[in-house]
Amino acid sequence: MLVLKKTTLIGSLLAIMLIGGATLALAHGPGPFNEIIHACVQDTGGNIKVGEDCKNNWSPLDWNGGIGPKGDIGPAGLSGHEVIRVNEDATLAANGGFFFITITCPDGKKILGGGAGNSAWTNGFGVIPVLSMPSPNTSTWNTSETTWTVGFSNIDSVPHTLNLAAYAICATVAP
């Protein structure tokens, strides 16, 4: 009489299932990438139905998931990202006094963005940023690729002296 332990039986069944699954996978091929996918595209509207027979107002569309040739290497993109902060003490006249801070990126870097900040917003002062943009060239009115300007305005009825901050995000940009 043959007596098998429970663990031997379970181990044998798992081994058979593993071998059977591997055999099935090898017989089927490397996967769906070699199969042709059949679909239908609606003539108006562009809806797609996969795996169906095309009926009236639907056109067949077949493709495979094969891997195509390797493409060319793309440009390097961004590198050397840095945030530059400039703080300046400023006195802004009452009722619309302005103050501007301009930041220039280091040589070879371009401006990606920028912003503003100051401690006055939490202290109830009426000094707010009213401009944050690539610096305009006053002769052509085109914007710069290397400088950022932040403008502040005092909307309060009294003058304010405070420390203002401007930020510029700079990086080397691939051509």
The span from the CA of 83 to the CA of 171, in Å, is: 9
Instruction: Give percent of the chain with pLDDT exceeding 90.
Output: 37
pLDDT at 175 over 60: yes
pLDDT of residue 119: 58
Domain ranges of the chain: 35-65, 78-173
Distance set, CA 147 to CA 4, 83, 90, 136, 143 (Å): 81, 13, 20, 9, 9
Q: Would you give the DSSP letter of residue 158?
A: S
141's tokens: 């009115």
Q: Which backbone phi and psi does 9 adopt, to 5 degrees? A: -65, -45
Q: Which CATH class is domain 78-173?
A: mainly beta
pLDDT at 52 over 70: yes
CB 169 within 8 A of CB 114: yes
- pTM score: 0.56
Distance set, CA 56 to CA 45, 46, 161 (Å): 14, 14, 76
Q: What is the pLDDT of residues 119-136, one digit of tens each?
A: 555 555 788 889 899 987
pLDDT at 105 over 90: yes
